[in-house]
Amino acid sequence: MRTAHLSGRLVLVTDEGLAVDVEQASDGRFGPDPQDVYEVWSAFRGWQATAVLPPGRPFSPEELGAPAPRPRQVFAVGLNYRAHADESGYEVPSTLPPVFPKYVSSITGPVTEVDLPPDGRTDWEVELVAVIGRRAHHVAEDDAWLYVAGLTAGQDLSERETQLAGPAPQFGLGKSFPGFSPTGPVLVTPDTFADPDDLALGCTLNGEEMQKGRTGDLVFSVPALVARLSAVLPLLPGDVLFTGTPAGVGLGRTPQRWISPGDVLVSEVEGIGELRQTFRARPHR
């Protein structure tokens, strides 16, 4: 099953790529809010499995919002691909990877224009993103996929000056400028994939390949992350989990490379779709 956030409303996306409004198709049983559906995710899945849907309507990616626009918690995971830990100059984590917040105000849909922080060094990080569909606390790794509503694509845009400033790194702030957490275009349920643990992902900058990897190379898989995070705190319905980025970020290149005004960044995850960010200079203020 594929869902999306179209012009502020929850829709199902058919195999033909058409959008069916959920509130209308369910005669009001499920509301229009794309975030609220995660509170009733299993009932929604049950309804959807047998629902007879009206014809959908075509839409363009520019009309889409984030599949989970107002999560209560947004987790992001660092150093979760071996080659990216290497390029970053860190050891590969063994028991728990670094985990940090991306603040909710940075979340957007899949096609956006992003203001570059002045004097910054803004970098790309394509990531698989999981959305939680059921409260998860002390969940075993073997059961963890049952707590995931679906998967989407994300960019963990990162301004490295802010991220690495100060006596200890500021991951949360450096990765939470406005527009720095685009997600989408759709949410895809785990059962839709032949293997949800091994998806190709990558990104291009102005058409040039920057990152290319597979989620099968994650040091901590989606179920492992749900198990380890939920051992500490509850993951709540609609929470968002950025799972880490493969090698090829600007920070790890020689010479290092940063996003410039006018650049176009296209990020893609297999079976989900693509994000498209265009960058512009933000005036000093």
Is 48 or 176 the residue whose CB approaches Zn ion more closely? 176
Instruction: Note whether 245 binds Zn ion by CB under 5 A.
Output: yes
Please pick, from the candidates 21, 123, 156, 239, the single residue that binds Zn ion as defined by CB under 5 A.
Answer: 156
Contact segment (CB under 5 A) with Zn ion among 67-75, 223-231, 243-251, 259-267 equals 243-251
Please state, in angstroms and as integers, the Cα–Cα distance from residue 98 to each residue in 76, 243, 260, following that order: 8, 11, 28
Which residues ranging from 66 to 125 are in contact with Zn ion (CB under 5 A)?
125
Tell me how long the chain is: 285
Instruction: Note whether 159 binds Zn ion by CB under 5 A.
Output: no
Rounded-to-integer distance, Cα 11 and Cα 32, Å:
8
Number of helices and strands in the chain (H, E):
6, 18
Instruction: Note whether 277 binds Zn ion by CB under 5 A.
Output: no
Is 163 or 245 the residue whose CB approaches Zn ion more closely? 245
Q: How far is the CB of 20 from Zn ion (least distance, A)?
A: 33
Counting other chains too, the contacts that 137-143 makes at CB distance below 8 Å and 24 or more residues apart are 137/230, 137/233, 137/234, 137/235, 138/230, 138/231, 139/226, 139/227, 139/230, 140/227, 141/223, 141/224, 141/226, 141/227, 142/223
Instruction: Note whether 274 binds Zn ion by CB under 5 A.
Output: no
Instruction: Note whether 155 binds Zn ion by CB under 5 A.
Output: no
Is 21 or 156 the residue whose CB approaches Zn ion more closely? 156
Q: How far is the CB of 244 from Zn ion (least distance, A)?
A: 6
Q: Which residues bind Zn ion (CB under 5 A)?
A: 125, 156, 245
